[in-house]
A and B are shown apart, each in its own frame.
Chain A
Amino acid sequence: MSVFTDQAVLTVSIDGEADLLRVRSVLRAEAQQVGLGLTAATKLVTAGSELARNIIRYATHGQGAMAVERLGREDRLGVRAVFTDDGPGIADLDLVMRDGYSTGGSLGLGLPGSRRLVDEFSIDSSPGQGTRVVIAQWAR
């Protein structure tokens, strides 16, 4: 018996605005499954919505995916969501993590805002290599 059990739940392909609803409902359902509180769940779903919207807006053909995993530790459960795309990538990660920076006419809060909403956040990207953002929220 292992005390560390992470399991893949499902992958949602992102290919247009209709998939935003799917991303949100999958995250909401998984948050409930692991027992996240309402505020933590709302933050997770909102962060996921921001990241999915980034894929739709910036990735090549607006396509990417979200893979959801259930995290199990000895004393707590959590949700991890991995957003990937094969888009143009991001040249300056420091710049895009700054509040208010946007090339798309938005508020420029998607990435820095999402980071504030979740317990764990990491981003990996380089030009031509696509982008991978990982978020996780733990039940208290």
Chain B
Amino acid sequence: MSDEVPILRVGGNLLVTLQGNLDDSTVEQIENAVTSEVARTAASGVLIDVSGLSIVDSFVARVIARLVAMVGLLGAASTIVGLQPAVAITLVELGVPMGHVRTALNAEQGIALLRGARDERVH
């Protein structure tokens, strides 16, 4: 993975794509980049696209959960999108607690979820 973390702006949301074999330092780089980008753009939501990850071990899962918590503290909602079925099965058997993390099948559904979350907050 390159040094640059791909973060796209989609409306009021950010789309972060996690790809390839992540090592510890890359993952930490992503945490820093995403949190500063949320703060800089005042994004209301963050979509974390993990469809490019062929494995998620407990370290990467924990980093994703931390990222969601950090983004939440900044006032934005996160949704994990595109988890591969084999990865989902593995995470459950590994025992990683991901219950509090909002997920969607793909980016489109993820954006719909984030929109719903924003509307809830407005009301």
Chain B residues within 8 Å of A112, by CB = 95
Chain B residues near A3 (CB, 8 Å)?
Answer: none
- Contact A42 B58, beta carbon cutoff 8 Å: no
> Looking at the complex, which of B20-28, B41-49, B71-79 is the stretch in contact with chain A?
B20-28
- Nearest residue (CB) in B for A41 is B86
Q: Could you tell me which residues of chain B, from 39 to 72, have a CB within 8 Å of some CB in chain A?
A: 54-59, 61-62
* CA–CA, A45 and B94, complex, Å: 12
- A39's nearest neighbour on chain B, judged by CB, is B86
* B59 / chain A contacts, CB cutoff of 8 Å: 53, 106
Q: Once the chains are docked, how many angstroms separate the CA of A116 from the CA of B91? A: 11
- B54→A50 contact, CB < 8 A: no
Partner of B90, one of A21, A42, A106: A42
In the assembled complex, the Cα of A50 lies from the Cα of B87 at a distance in Å of 14
B93 at the interface (CB under 8 A from A): yes
Question: With an 8 A cutoff between CB atoms, is A46 at the interface?
Answer: yes
Report the contact-size class of chain A (Cβ under 8 Å from the partner): 20 to 34
Give chain B's interface residue range (CB within 8 Å of chain A).
Answer: 20 to 34
Q: Which of A48-103 contact B (CB under 8 A)?
A: 49-50, 53, 99
Residue in contact with A46 in the complex, picked from B21, B62, B90, CB distance below 8 Å: B90
The verdict on A18 contacting chain B, using a C-beta distance below 8 Å, is yes
CA distance A59 to B93 in the complex (A): 26
Query: Quick one: which of B1-54 are within 8 Å of A by CB?
Result: 21, 23-25, 54
Max count, chain B CB within 10 A of own CB: residue among A28, A39, A46, A107: A46
Q: Let me know if B89 is at the binding interface, CB within 8 A.
A: yes
Are B89 and A39 in contact, CB atoms less than 8 angstroms apart? yes
B62 near A39: Cβ-Cβ < 8 Å: no
* Nearest CB on B from A22, distance (A): 9
A/B interface sample: 24 pairs, CB < 8 A: A17-B23, A20-B23, A21-B21, A24-B55, A25-B21, A28-B54, A38-B86, A39-B85, A39-B86, A42-B89, A43-B89, A45-B54, A45-B55, A50-B57, A53-B59, A106-B59, A106-B62, A107-B96, A107-B97, A109-B58, A113-B58, A113-B93, A116-B93, A116-B94
